[in-house]
Structure 1
Amino acid sequence: MPPAIPGFDLRRVPAADGVTLTAAVGGSGPPVVLLHGFPQTHLMWRHVAADLAADHTVICPDLRGYGASDKPAEAGGMTTDAVYAKRTMAADIVAVAAALGHDRFALAGHDRGALVAFRAALDHPGTVTHLACLDVLPTLDMWEAMHGTTAAVGFHLYLMAQPPGLPERMIAADPDLFFGHFLDLWARAPEAVPADVRAVYLAACRAAVPSIVADYRASAGIDVTHDAADRAAGNRLRMPVAVLQQDWGAALGFDAAALWSAWAPDLRHTTVDTGHFMAEESPATVVRALRDLLAR
């Protein structure tokens, strides 16, 4: 049997634009939605979700384009960029929660999932009650912060921003090498992603190269446009916000807490001593932060 979150059921849930997401759902109580990052699936939340399910309804979807969720190339007449805009992916999450009976919910995301969560909180402030973002900067700030040779750490961002064709073919030539590179590079504690879980991640990515690239390409285009419009309008996050990050801001020459503070008046920013995959490497740290957030 493939690994799963103990006590959780996998469900196919309608999202936006005729797209259906696969979500692991468990527990009972106030709802919390957890969004995975790259190159992972909802399974990255297995430890955190099991803890929160003691007193919360926990919903862990695979994002559109990832895992066992639908991977549309086009939908509702939208371009591929718009199909994978974080605004569209955020609408998925609101629709999935509503389909499961929740009009308001707390939301946490890691990496790509954090960008979707950030957009959901800006676009649906009456729906998202609390927001947690793990080890990421808002898209606009990320592109502005990266420069010079230090930006080499984000080479994949530039690769997948290229026009359709080249990045898909390059990655598809050896997807396990490409996606496995990040699992190896970003984990300070490699044993936190055991072989059976790693195999799930690699198989899921192998089957989703075009949609994963489309997600990243949208972040070099339409997502920047949306973030810039919100910045210009002075739109900010209205709910309590928690951000957990490694100390990579200092290494890359920017103040991550200051960048987040510009978006979130009610912010608790914490630098954590772990690798990028913090929900797997140090789940107790993440659980404490989320429970602290939910109590605010």
Structure 2
Amino acid sequence: MTRPARPLPRRRHVPREQADHPFDLAVFEGGVAEGPVVVLVHGWPDTHRMWDGVAELLAPDFRVVAYDTRGQGASATDAPDSAFTVDALADDLFAVLDAVARGEQVHLVGHDWGSVQAWEAVCRPEAEERIASFTSISGPHLDHVAHWVRRTVVRPSPRAVAALLGQAVSSSYLPFLVSPLAPPLLGMLDSDAASGLRYYRGNLRRRTPRSAPPRTSVPVLQLALTRDVAIRHASLAASDPWADRLERRELPHGHWVARTHPHVVAAEVADFVRRHDRRASAC
């Protein structure tokens, strides 16, 4: 049986010098060579292949790029937990942009931890010149959420406390993922799942949230999935005070919408990209 062609057939490697653990990021490209550049960033416990359906639908109109994030898929590394902070992951993202964007602005799309690290990137001072738009799926900014939690504890209201408790219930799996039990158990099922636990340990165990969260002027589209059991609306809304241009679209789908309904994600991304691409607006 002939295997179907991959939507991102071209592969390159982006070297990363990470202390005593240098490694390469595996980057995959496809689509229209001269189209607007759309960069897809996957989450845990995935690889770039989770975007296959979305990439195939975007490929006729855009240059599409996806990569295996640090420690996942073909971007393997034995670096310790401390190398998996969102700062390091955002550095990786900008290294990919340096390699593929040829000085152009790009449009980011992130899911789960891919969205978390993309949020970190778009809140950097240089982001507005490098990133034309950001579509966020099921991954909030960690500091925005931390600020919302602190504010709710200091100035509680019935509605805010209920929202906080709801997110706490949805996040009740996190203690297991940062525990010593998770690596051997998940490792028996999926090596990428075990490897990606360093994202949780590197950011949820030791990281100290900023007292003043960073903000962004990059246009942001949040796809709010009403059937997502992991991320509640309040965690997404935590970014509202810190984003100059943020839109939110509610969709009646679950966490893995990019796999289950790629046509929905592709349509939302394509519309948002066209509205914020400089070349499109100049026509």
TM over 0.5: yes
Supply the AA of the counterpart residue of 1:161. Answer: V
Per the alignment, residue 92 of structure 2 pairs with: 92
Superposed CA offset, 1:103-159 (max 9, x none): 431111000100011011112413222111102222245563885586343233222
Per-residue Cα deviation, 1:145-198 (whole angstroms, up to 9, x for no partner): 885586343233222334xx44323433xx32xxxxxxxxxxxxxxxxxxxxxx
- The answer for the alignment partner of 2:11 in structure 1 is 10
SS for the counterpart of 2:102 is: coil
Name structure 1 gaps, 5 residues minimum: 75-79, 177-204
| Partner residue in 1 for 2:75 | 69
TM-score when scaled to structure 2?
A: 0.77
Q: Aligned equivalents of 1:132 and 1:253: distance in 2?
A: 17
Mapped partners of 2:119, 2:206: distance in 1: 15
Q: Does 1:236 pair with 2:215? A: yes
Indicate conservation of the 8 Å contact 1:86/1:116, yes or no.
Answer: yes
Q: Which residue matches 2:183?
A: 168
Cα distance in 1 between the residues matched to 2:58 and 2:228: 29
Distance 1:150 1:138, change over 3 A: closer
Q: In the alignment, is the contact (CA less than 8 A) between 1:249 and 1:255 conserved in 2?
A: no
Q: Residue type matched to 2:28 in 1?
A: A
Contact 2:145/2:239, CA 8 A, preserved across alignment: no
Task: Write the distance in 2 (CA, Å) between the matches of 1:86 and 1:257.
Answer: 18
In 2, Cα distance between the equivalents of 1:128 and 1:156? 33
**In the superposition, relative to structure 1, how do residues 140 and 278 fare at CA in structure 2: closer, same or farther (>3 Å)?**
same
| Structure 2 portions without partners, runs of 5+ | 150-160, 277-283
* Separation in 2, partners of 1:220, 1:105: 29
Amino acid at match of 1:271: E
1:198 aligned partner? none
1:32–1:56 CA contact under 8 A, matched in 2: yes
Q: CA deviation at 1:57?
A: 1.6
> Which letter maps to 2:10?
D
Residues 224 and 118 of structure 1, relative CA distance in 2, 3 Å threshold: farther
Q: Give the 5 Å matches for 1:178-257.
A: 205-206=190-191, 209=194, 211-221=195-205, 223-225=207-209, 228-231=210-213, 235-247=214-226, 255-256=234-235
Query: Which is higher, the Rg of structure 1 or of structure 2?
Result: 2
The verdict on how the C-alpha distance between 1:224 and 1:6 changes in structure 2, with shifts beyond 3 A counting, is: same
Q: 1:41 aligns with which of 31, 35, 47?
A: 47
Query: Which amino acid letter does the alignment assign opposite residue 174 of structure 2?
Result: L
1:25 aligns with 2:25: no
| CA distance in 1: counterparts of 2:231 and 2:116, whole angstroms | 20
| CA 253–45 in structure 1, closer or farther in 2 if over 3 Å, else same | closer
Distance change >3 Å, CA 112–CA 253, structure 1 → 2: closer
CA deviation digits over 1:237-275, x for unaligned, max 9? 111100002226999876355323122121111111111
More helix by share: 1
